[in-house]
């Protein structure tokens, strides 16, 4: 299987770069548990690895974070996506993934010039005035420059780095193969669903490589807030926007991270927290389309206590069914309804295909008991004192302990809620996320039972039943035809039976070796009594060889039994 992964010659160069970084960082837990930290440090000195002494002392999550930074854009983005999987990774790992900064030294503008001229159809100086060729910001996928349009509008140009798509596609091919290997060969890795995680990385990165997607997302979100004068997004200039370049309005305001300037300028921080929370809840619960990375770096505050969201490359989408589940979960947490919370979690775990490792089934009673205990912790807490982010984080810990994971869209949403409450409390220490969410939840709950919504759901169910009944004769005919031909098969996948079969096979192999060894000893003893023939060390040659092979077989048999005994402890 490994050679299947390595045979694609076009990716060998990139594979060598990745392997070099991974080997140098060691992936610490194994090294530390084996007591090899000092050995790794010495190897780094011999091979002249950079920062070998520091690497040897790093925690596993820190090593992986540094390795991702060195391996480039694909791995940085993968780490940023993993930072949203609070249902899979513990908080210390999430904090390390959150440190991944998509900032690298900017390429010289002259190296980008041929590509930008090809995309714009002219020299950029002929289209934009006051073009600053010093990058305003630089990431691993794109660089940002400021300029003006002839009409005087301030704009930013986001330009994709030349050649980045080929690097990303090579990385994605290698990651896909690695994920398949992990899921197939390493049982412990299956609970992390590596194939599904890499599929999510692929979708996210390929969207981000197309810079026009960010602009389409911005316009869709702008439409959602078209009636809200306090929330806006940058204007897009489509005449000069395409896959490798986009041009958007330059936002001049106070960045979300600069709380000191916010206070100094006289902004109402409490009002900003309320408006920001209302904006995100509106996107999620009403429209099912939301900015998936609303951290302070992607927010600007402008006069009249207004908020501008930027960098809409990462968005989340929720189907109607998902929205209902999210509302039910939040309602269950707030109203302390254990049964409702358990029902939602089980629906999520079913959707996330947790049967990848069928040897580990979910203990429903144990899960319900833990959720019940979890809810008891908040039983006497007043609504205004509930910390929704803490509740959601505690809930994901319970899910991890039961090897349950969420579908990717919900994991992204969970991270958004946690980020939103943290951002709100930065602006206003008394920010109450539950109070902000309750009006939206009540509104959406009531909308479920409006006559038009009931009629819509009823009609959808009738259509589903009609389709099922319409297909039933055809499906029954196919089933009967397969039975007549003897092609009807029933597959029963029993993991424990497979394990028993493997153990039985090992025992049969040992028994065979034991019988062959015994036969060799007996046969060789007979040969040793026969005079004549070639000799070695004064002994009959065939007798000597027979004892040699029987000795090897005996040693192998003893070693196999000893190793098996150690593995069962």
Q: Which residues are catalytic?
A: 293
Backbone φ and ψ of 552, nearest 5°: -60, -45
Q: In sequence order, what are the beta bridge partners of 290?
A: 316
β-strands 299-302, 289-291 pairing: unpaired
Q: Report whether 73 contacts 141 (CB < 8 A).
A: yes
Nearest-CA neighbor of 259 among 233, 308, 297?
297
Nearby residues of 77 by Cβ (< 8 Å), 6 or more positions away: 102, 140, 141, 201, 204, 205, 208
Chain centre to alpha carbon of residue 15: 21
In three-state secondary structure terms, 388 is helix
Q: How many contiguous H segments (helices) and E segments (strands) does the chain have?
A: 24, 12
Nearest-CA neighbor of 76 among 156, 136, 138?
138
Other residues' Cβ atoms within 10 Å of the Cβ of residue 68: 23
Q: In sequence order, what are the beta bridge partners of 147?
A: 155
Cα Rg, the chain, nearest whole Å: 31
Nearest-CA neighbor of 488 among 472, 499, 476?
476
DSSP string for 302-353: ETTTEEEE---SSEEE--HHHHHHHHHHHHHHHHT-HHHHHHHHHHHHHHTT
DSSP string for 120-145: HTS-HHHH-BS---S-SEE-SSEEEE
In eight-state DSSP terms, residue 282 is I
In a 13 Å sphere around the CA of 373, the CA atoms on its Cβ side amount to 7
Nearby residues of 2 by Cβ (< 8 Å), 6 or more positions away: 181
521 vs 550: CA distance, rounded Å: 6
β-strands 142-148, 137-138 pairing: antiparallel
89 vs 406: CA distance, rounded Å: 12
């Amino acid at each position: 299987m490994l050679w299947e992964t390595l045979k694609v010659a076009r990716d060998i160069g990139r594979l060598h770069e990745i392997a070099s970084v991974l080997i140098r960082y060691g992936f610490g837990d194994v090294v530390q548990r084996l007591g090899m930290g000092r050995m790794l440090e010495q190897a780094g000195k011999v091979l002249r690895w950079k920062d070998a002494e520091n690497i040897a002392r790093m925690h596993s999550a820190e090593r992986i974070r540094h390795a991702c930074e060195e391996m480039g854009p694909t791995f940085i983005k993968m780490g940023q996506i993993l930072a949203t999987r609070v249902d899979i990774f513990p908080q210390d790992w999430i904090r390390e993934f959150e440190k991944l900064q998509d900032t690298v030294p900017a390429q010289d503008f002259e190296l980008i010039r041929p590509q930008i001229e090809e995309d714009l159809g002219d020299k950029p100086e002929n289209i934009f005035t006051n073009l600053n060729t010093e990058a305003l910001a630089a990431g691993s996928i794109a660089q940002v420059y400021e300029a003006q349009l002839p009409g005087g509008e301030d704009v930013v140009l986001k330009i994709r780095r030349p050649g980045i798509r080929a690097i990303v596609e090579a990385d994605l091919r290698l990651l896909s193969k690695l994920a398949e290997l992990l899921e197939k060969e390493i049982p412990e890795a299956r609970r992390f669903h590596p194939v599904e995680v890499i599929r999510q990385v692929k979708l996210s990165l390929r969207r981000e490589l197309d810079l026009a997607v960010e602009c389409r997302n911005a316009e869709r979100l702008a439409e959602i807030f078209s009636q809200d004068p306090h929330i806006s997004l940058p204007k897009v200039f489509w005449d000069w926007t395409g896959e490798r370049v986009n041009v958007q309005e330059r936002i001049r305001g106070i960045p979300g991270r600069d709380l000191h300037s916010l206070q100094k300028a006289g902004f109402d921080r409490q009002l900003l927290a309320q408006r920001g929370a209302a904006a995100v809840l509106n996107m999620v619960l009403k429209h099912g389309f939301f900015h998936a990375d609303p951290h302070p770096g992607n927010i600007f505050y402008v006069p009249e206590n207004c908020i501008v969201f930027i960098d809409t490359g990462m968005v989340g989408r929720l189907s109607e069914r998902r929205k209902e589940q999210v509302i039910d979960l939040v309602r269950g947490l707030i109203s302390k309804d254990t049964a409702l919370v358990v029902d939602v979690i089980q629906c999520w775990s079913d959707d996330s295909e947790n049967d990848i490792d069928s040897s580990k089934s979910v203990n429903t009673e144990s899960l319900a008991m833990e959720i019940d205990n979890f809810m008891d912790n908040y039983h006497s807490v007043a609504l205004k004192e509930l910390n929704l982010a803490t509740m959601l984080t505690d809930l994901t810990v319970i899910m991890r302990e039961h090897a349950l994971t969420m579908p990717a869209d919900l994991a992204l949403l969970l991270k958004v809620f946690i980020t939103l409450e943290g951002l709100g409390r930065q602006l206003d220490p008394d920010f109450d996320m539950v109070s902000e969410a309750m009006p939206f939840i009540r509104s959406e709950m009531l909308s479920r039972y409006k006559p038009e919504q009931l009629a819509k759901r009823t009609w959808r169910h009738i259509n589903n039943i009609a389709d099922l009944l319409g297909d039933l004769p055809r499906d029954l005919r196919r089933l009967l035809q397969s039975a007549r031909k003897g092609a009807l098969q029933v597959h029963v996948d029993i993991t424990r039976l497979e394990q028993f079969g493997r153990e039985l096979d090992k025992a049969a192999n040992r028994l065979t070796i034991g019988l062959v060894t015994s036969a060799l000893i007996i046969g060789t003893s007979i040969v040793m009594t026969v005079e004549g023939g070639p000799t070695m060390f004064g002994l009959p040659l065939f007798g000597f060889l027979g004892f040699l092979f029987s000795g090897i077989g005996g040693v192998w048999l003893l070693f196999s039994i000893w190793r098996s005994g150690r593995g069962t402890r």
